[in-house]
Amino acid sequence: MWSNLPFDVLAKIFSFLSPDSLARARSTCRHWNACVDTYPIATSFILLSLHHRAWFLALPTRNRGQHCYVHNPVIDNWHLLSLDFLPDPVRPVASIGALILVRPTNCTVLQLALCNPFTRQFRYLPMSNISRTNPAVGVVTLDSVQHGPNPNFRVYVAGGMSEAPRGGAMYELKLEMYDSMDDTWHVVGFVPTEFAVRLTVWTPNESVYSNGVLYWMTSARAYSVMGYEIDGHRWRGFGVPMADKLEFAALLCHNGGLTLVGGASEGEACIWGLKEGDRWGLIQKVPMEMGRKLLGGKSWGSIKCVGSEEAIYLYKELGSGMVVWREMEEKARWAWFWIEGCHSIGGNQVPNLPIKGFFLHPNLFPFTF
């Protein structure tokens, strides 16, 4: 019976499978494999992103071997993915649907690339118009097919150091933007000197896009936020709650708005949402028992955070476990969960590595741009 089903019916059934289950299904027989190849859109980003949560991707921060780890939230299972297809060691910058934006670590001048760890694809983006070191990078996804193999997106590069006209180095004030639609970099504005300095010295690569504004968090205590209004070409800065007491702070996008997650020296971690007038309102507090379990006797300064519209993860090392605030399946409420860390895969013990986490919607179909 299964071998006689029309491709469109079979593809509809496949759309409910997670990417790892879909990969096993397509290897069952030629008929099923041909169905996946014939109806890639139906069995990939449109329906899969609706039926399944994003996966947590953990990249070792010290490049210990060319591999990464991914957690499937549907069946609560960890997988090991080889990254031996990468031509150079890389540092992750941001996730873009099913892709990861990375920069090679063997070059001081900014160079960006895209990779899909599931299809083992890698592609360098064109070099920017201005050679610069240590700039801030921001990503904006443009359309609703952001989880597909070819999302439309823009990358903004601000600050950094470039070569001065008479030799030496200077803070770069030109703002550049890469557009995936034309595969080209454009100079789109300027950065005030004060912001260029802060973006270069105190800002990690992570950015958040919300309601037409790109945001970066300064890493210097006391923490603060810088925002760039894309349409109005305006820069602004504002503070965060408990700025001088936070031991870690991260920006996320939650319910369509800018969200702050931070842990204070007194032992509490909280989630705040940005309101009108650049004011913050408390949304949630991390349950004390889960917080203590995550910290393991250490300070909040050892914690990292990653978030999406459907979940917020607080994590430390690969094997330390994660505190998760996640939307329930009925989408009527959010709840706190504990996810065990990765200790072994396929019976083989996994070392407890420092990691950098991202959310990714796995896609088994190659990108073509």
Q: Residue-wise pLDDT tens for the chain (369 aa)?
A: 556 556 655 665 566 566 667 667 777 777 777 776 666 544 444 444 445 678 899 999 876 568 899 998 878 889 999 999 999 889 999 999 889 999 998 889 999 999 999 889 999 999 999 999 999 999 999 865 455 557 889 999 999 999 998 889 999 999 999 999 999 999 999 999 999 999 999 887 689 999 999 999 988 778 999 999 999 999 999 999 998 899 999 999 988 899 999 998 767 899 999 999 899 999 999 999 999 999 988 899 999 999 988 899 999 999 999 999 998 876 678 999 999 999 999 889 999 999 999 998 887 777 776
Distance CA 364, CA 55 (A): 14
CATH number of this structure's domain 1-39: 1.20.1280
pTM as predicted: 0.86
Residue 309, SS3?
coil
The per-residue pLDDT for 26 is: 72
Closest CA to 156 of 100, 215, 107: 215
Q: Is the dihedral of CA 154, 311, 135, 225 positive or negative?
A: positive
The crossing angle, in degrees rounded to 10, of helices 30-38 and 19-26 is: 130
Residue 355, SS3?
strand
Structure tokens, 348: 């083989």
What is the C-alpha end-to-end distance of the chain, expressed in Å? 39
Structure tokens, 22: 């879909």
Domain ranges, ordered by start, for the chain: 1-39
Distance CA 222, CA 219 (A): 8
Burial class from Cβ neighbours inside 10 Å (0-12, 13-18, 19+) for residue 86 reads: middle
| Residue corresponding to tokens 């109806």 | 39
Longest dimension (CA), the chain: 76
The per-residue pLDDT for 47 is: 47
